[in-house]
Structure 1
Amino acid sequence: MPSSLSLDPAKAVLLVVDMQNDFVLPDAPMEVAAARQRVPAMAALVARAREAGVPVIYTQHVLYDGFDVSPLETTQLPHLKTAGMRAGTPGVEIIAELAPLPGEVVIPKHRYDAFYNTRLETVIRNIRGRNVADSVIITGTVTSVCCESTARSAFMRDLRVFFVDDATGGFDDASHRATLATIDRVFGKVVSTRQVLDALGGA
């Protein structure tokens, strides 16, 4: 892990990936216990970003009852054919501890990569003014699935990736660490919550 962080707050956005009730709450359809454990770190980052004027952008994984919008996902995870992240239900909403403020952007998505067939890139390119933002700070869940897919996709779009190791939650420690190693070697910088808080300024 680098000892210093070359993150310019004036060119960054904070991305909170899929911190929804159906991923975070106990006994939820896609419960990720590690995501729940890391909520305090994510909340600290969200609060500091707001104080520093860094836009906070949320992603929200959405499935439907009326038709299977993500058929390969539900083939891999058959229990999602009947429950989980359903549009219009409390399970699809961002958890209360990280709830978006009025005016903050929430990006619905149907694939692990939050850039795929969404407006995320357009929002990032313009939310701070035309082509100002060049860096994404990634937090959320699942580390090795939606967080990693989105980080790789950001890199392919020439966005600098800062992947927060203790503010992302994985299914297990092995997959979490494997993602961190891959991101840090190839796709961006793996950083700590403390490093990002310091880079964004304040106490």
Structure 2
Amino acid sequence: MPLKNLARLATSPSPRGVERSSASIKAAKISGDFMGSTKWNETAMLVIDMQNDFILPDSSVHVADGLAIVPSVIQAVSVARERGIFVIWVVREHDRWGRDVELFRRHFYADGKGPATKTSKGAELVDGLSIEGGDYKLVKMRFSAFLGTHLHSLLQNSGIKNLVVVGVQTPNCIRQTVFDAVSLDYQHVSVISDATAAATPEIHFANMRDMKNIGVATPTLQEWCSSDP
């Protein structure tokens, strides 16, 4: 999708299926206050798996609601940079034969053309997103951005105490990364509710509730952009 179309989508209404109950709206207000207590220079944004193979609908492994959040992720990254937040692009870049992927996914690589293989178009960031100076790219091989990577040491060495997470998909890479961050005692962990996505809104919000129940903040993009350090 051309960048000009994505920019136009950024001003469009929220995608179908993301209406929230009064209880979730109340929770979001609490989440906004939670994020308002953080310091941006001690915060990193993890942008997870916003790659062509996981976002574009012509891919066999795309996340159904992934394309709809691209404008929100673009805006979240822009605001993060303005605030001086450390932006980390967490991506998958696999061996073409799948020798480094989860066992249950290896059948995708039988012909040497599996998703998000190194140097492939599918492994590139979706149109509208790009790595800029001061950002950092981290390659992971499993759901959690912490498992088998140097993410924790990178964050510790950078003085990071707080995390904001956007990307796909909520029940897998988002959830496992967030649960690991909580286990590692990061002070404030937030998931921007409308800058993350799953296969369906039902799956998305069920997992958002689970993360909220372990102390994770779940502001909307608007609430997060309006919060103060």
When normalised by structure 1's length, the TM-score is: 0.89
Residue pairs, 1:1-203, within 5 angstroms: 1-3=27-29, 4-7=32-35, 8=38, 9-74=40-105, 78-82=107-111, 83-127=114-158, 132-159=159-186, 160-199=188-227
Q: Contact 1:52/1:200 (CA < 8 Å) preserved in 2?
A: no
Whichever of the two has the greater Rg, that structure is 2
Please state how far the C-alpha of 1:173 moved relative to its aligned partner.
1.8
Please state how far the C-alpha of 1:86 moved relative to its aligned partner.
0.6
Please state how far the C-alpha of 1:98 moved relative to its aligned partner.
1.5
Please state how far the C-alpha of 1:200 moved relative to its aligned partner.
5.3
Alpha-carbon spacing, 1:81–1:123, altered in 2? closer, same or farther (3 Å)? farther
Instruction: Name whichever of 63-72 and 188-197 sits farther off.
Output: 63-72
When normalised by structure 2's length, the TM-score is: 0.79
Identity within the alignment, %:
24
Unaligned runs of 5+ in 2: 1-26
Alpha-carbon spacing, 1:66–1:169, altered in 2? closer, same or farther (3 Å)? same
State the Cα deviation string for residues 55-102 of structure 1 (Å, max 9, x = none).
111100122124521242415xx3354420111111111123111113
Instruction: Name whichever of 89-98 and 47-56 sits farther off.
Output: 89-98
What is the distance in 2 between the residues matched to 1:35 and 1:67? 23
Q: Contact 2:51/2:91 (CA < 8 Å) preserved in 1?
A: yes
Instruction: Name whichever of 45-54 and 190-199 sits farther off.
Output: 190-199
Unaligned runs of 5+ in 1: none
- Classify the secondary structure of the residue corresponding to 2:143: coil
CA RMSD, 1 decimal: 1.7
The letter for the 2-side match of 1:147 is I
